[in-house]
């Protein structure tokens, strides 16, 4: 297991390095630069040169890359061109909002996915099962940003049930702690549903398939023969046995959720990493784009690693392979 872990960790590091290298060169080689004041001809050229020096843009690309890589290894991400702040502070300021949203979306995905999957598996081929299959396919095929927009249109404007954007209401800081928490919860509902529901639809299909297969196995028949109630057989035996292959999905969900919040954060004006990345891309704020890319890549890679480890733990054949 130790060697397997080391091998996988080395592969993860290699992957993150490749992603960062690719992003670095794509950013710098794409037409157009950071723009703004750097290309403003009203500003004397000596002044613009000073900024280029300050931001390290005056060096050859290879030297910039070497310096970036060295600094990244030391955990230094430089200064944001756009915010004039250390990149670490920009990212750290946005990370909690993204983690909160991703956590809530994960909750939606697994709660709804498991419940719907179990419900469908209990009566395979029923009208409910067919309906769920259709809805799962529909939800899974819808882009999250469109789903977000529709959710705002329907549940914020048509029927004003939930706030359409932001993390908190105007003046929420003056509310008592419990009311603030409720206010935060209300703001979380639509974005968490927009991210979580399509994943829940996919998960429900997995749960349903896995559970239907398990329910047909002999140990389930034996449990029934021993006189256990249908509910106990389903929740206590069949579902537990079906969860092992699903554990890998959990790791992959982590990765997808963090990378999938970008569009939804923009739609819901959610102040997270997705928004920071979107704005940094528009402004060609290289240090911020690279830092958020590194963060996303690391999360995706770690999520996959967790998934693989869970699978390896559950299935010794994987370790041997």
Partner 1 sequence: MSRALRLALLCAGALAALAALGCTRERPPAASSGGTLVVATLVDLQGVNELLSSDNRFTGEILELLFPRLLVELPDFESGPPSFAPGLAESWERSEDGREILFRLRPGLVWSDGEPLTAADVRFTFEAQTSPEVAWSYAHAKEGIESVEVLDDRTVRFRFREPYATQLLDANEGGILPRHVWGERPFASWREDADWFRDHLVVSGPFLLAAWRPAQEVVLARNPRYWEPGRPRLDRVVFRVVPDQGAQLAQLLGGGLDFVLGVPPARAAEIAANPGLQLFPFWNRQYDYIVWNTRRPLFADTAVRRALTLAIDRQELVDALWFGYARPALSPLLSSSWAFHRGLEPWPYDPAAARRLLDAAGWVERDGGRVKDGERFAFDLLTNAGNRVRVDAAVMIQAQLARVGIEVRLRPIDLNTLNEKALAHDFDAMLSGWGIDTSMDLRFAFHSEEAEGGYNFGGYANPEVDRLIEEVQRQRDLAAAKPLLDRLQEILHEEQPYTLLWEPQRLAAGRAALRDAQPNALATFFRLEEWWLAPPP
Smallest gap from residue 302 Cβ to partner 1 (A): 25
Smallest gap from residue 193 Cβ to partner 1 (A): 9
Cβ(177)–Cβ(168) below 8 Å? no
Closest CB to partner 1 among 21 and 229?
Answer: 229
Smallest gap from residue 301 Cβ to partner 1 (A): 26
Closest CB to partner 1 among 42 and 317?
Answer: 42
3-class DSSP state of 79: strand
Cβ(101)–Cβ(191) below 8 Å? yes
Closest CB to partner 1 among 39 and 59?
Answer: 39
Closest CB to partner 1 among 46 and 218?
Answer: 46
User: For residue 256, with 0-12 CB atoms within 10 Å meaning exposed, 13-18 middle and 19 or more buried, which class applies?
Assistant: buried
Which pair of structure tokens corresponds to residue 302?
């770690």
Smallest gap from residue 35 Cβ to partner 1 (A): 4
Closest CB to partner 1 among 34 and 260?
Answer: 34
Q: Give residue for tokens 């200064």.
A: 79
Name the residue among 72, 75, 77 with its Cα closest to residue 90: 77
User: For residue 104, with 0-12 CB atoms within 10 Å meaning exposed, 13-18 middle and 19 or more buried, which class applies?
Assistant: buried
Smallest gap from residue 186 Cβ to partner 1 (A): 3
Closest CB to partner 1 among 55 and 140?
Answer: 55
Which pair of structure tokens corresponds to residue 296?
């996303």
Which pair of structure tokens corresponds to residue 283?
């402004």
Smallest gap from residue 7 Cβ to partner 1 (A): 40
Q: How far is CA 108 from the centre of its chain?
A: 13
3-class DSSP state of 288: helix
């Amino acid at each position: 297991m130790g060697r397997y872990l080391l091998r996988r960790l080395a592969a993860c590091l290699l992957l993150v390095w490749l992603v960062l290298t690719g992003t670095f060169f794509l950013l710098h080689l794409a037409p157009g630069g950071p723009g703004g004041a750097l290309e403003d001809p009203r500003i004397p050229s000596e002044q613009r040169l000073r900024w280029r020096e300050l931001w390290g843009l005056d060096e050859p690309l290879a030297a910039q890359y070497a310096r970036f890589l060295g600094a990244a290894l030391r955990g230094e991400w430089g200064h944001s061109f756009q915010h004039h702040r250390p990149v670490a502070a920009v990212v750290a300021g946005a990370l909690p909002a993204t983690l909160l949203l991703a956590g809530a979306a994960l909750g939606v995905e697994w709660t709804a996915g498991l419940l719907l999957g179990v419900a469908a598996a209990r009566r395979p081929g029923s009208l409910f099962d067919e309906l769920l299959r259709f809805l799962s396919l529909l939800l899974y095929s819808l882009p999250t940003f469109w789903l977000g927009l529709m959710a705002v249109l329907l549940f914020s404007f048509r029927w004003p049930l939930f706030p359409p954007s932001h993390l908190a209401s105007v003046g929420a800081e003056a509310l008592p702690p419990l009311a603030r928490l409720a206010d935060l919860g209300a703001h979380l509902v639509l974005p968490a549903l927009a991210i979580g529901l399509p994943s829940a639809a996919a998960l429900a299909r997995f749960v349903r398939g896995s559970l239907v297969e398990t329910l047909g196995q002999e140990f389930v028949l034996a449990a029934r023969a021993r006189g256990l109630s249908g509910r106990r057989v389903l929740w206590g035996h069949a579902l537990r046995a079906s969860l092992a292959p699903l554990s890998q999905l959990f790791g992959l969900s982590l990765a997808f959720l963090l990378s999938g919040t970008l569009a939804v954060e923009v739609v819901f004006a959610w102040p997270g990493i997705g928004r920071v990345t979107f704005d940094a891309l528009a402004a060609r704020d290289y240090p911020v784009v690279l830092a958020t890319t590194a963060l996303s890549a690391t999360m995706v890679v770690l999520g996959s690693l967790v998934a693989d480890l869970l699978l390896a733990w559950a299935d010794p054949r994987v370790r041997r392979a």
